[in-house]
């Protein structure tokens, strides 16, 4: 269990995926460029390649991301956030996507 104050520290925002490409040499990683209505898009590295064999299908989707994690280098690429998704043991998978009326940068409450 965590306190509400701990939970409130997590910055969860809607981000629009501008580009998506497989990371060479990795079977599961995609490099995403994501618009959070900031000065410049952020690079997010995510292990979702097996669910999106054609990474380009992600372009234009708005999904939810944790945006205040410390940057982390994954497979030689800096990641500046974490994508929210759900999956089951049976292989079902879904991004957490807000309604299309929610603009990039909107914070979850």
Q: Where are the domains of the chain?
A: 10-95
pLDDT, position 97: 97
In 3D space, the residue among 101, 17, 13 whose CA is nearest the CA of residue 60 turns out to be 17
- CA–CA distance, 39 with 79 (Å, rounded to integer): 17
Hey, what are 17's tokens? 């995926």
Domain over 10-95 is classified CATH 3.10.20.740: no
| Average pLDDT in the chain | 96
Q: List, for residues 59-82, the tens digit of each pLDDT value.
A: 999 999 999 999 999 999 999 999
Provide the pLDDT for residue 18: 98
Predicted model pTM: 0.94
C-alpha dihedral sign at 44, 45, 50, 54: positive
Residue 52 binned pLDDT confidence (cut-offs 50, 70, 90): very high
CA distance 95 to 65: 10
Q: Return the pLDDT at 64.
A: 98
What does the pLDDT read at residue 54?
95
Q: How confident is the model at residue 105 (pLDDT cuts 50, 70, 90)?
A: very high
Q: Using alpha carbons only, give the angle 58, 101, 12 rounded to the nearest 5 degrees.
A: 65
Task: Give percent of the chain with pLDDT exceeding 90.
Answer: 98
């Amino acid at each position: 269990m965590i306190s509400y104050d701990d939970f409130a520290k997590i910055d969860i925002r809607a981000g629009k995926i501008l580009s998506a490409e497989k990371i060479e040499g990795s079977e599961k990683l995609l490099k995403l460029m994501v618009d959070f209505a900031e000065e410049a898009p952020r690079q997010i590295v995510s292990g979702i390649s097996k669910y999106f064999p054609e990474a380009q299908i992600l372009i234009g989707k708005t999904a939810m991301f944790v945006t205040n994690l410390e940057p982390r280098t994954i497979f030689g690429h800096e990641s500046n956030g974490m994508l929210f998704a759900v999956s089951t043991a049976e292989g079902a998978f879904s991004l957490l996507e807000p309604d299309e009326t929610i603009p990039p940068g909107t914070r979850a409450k």
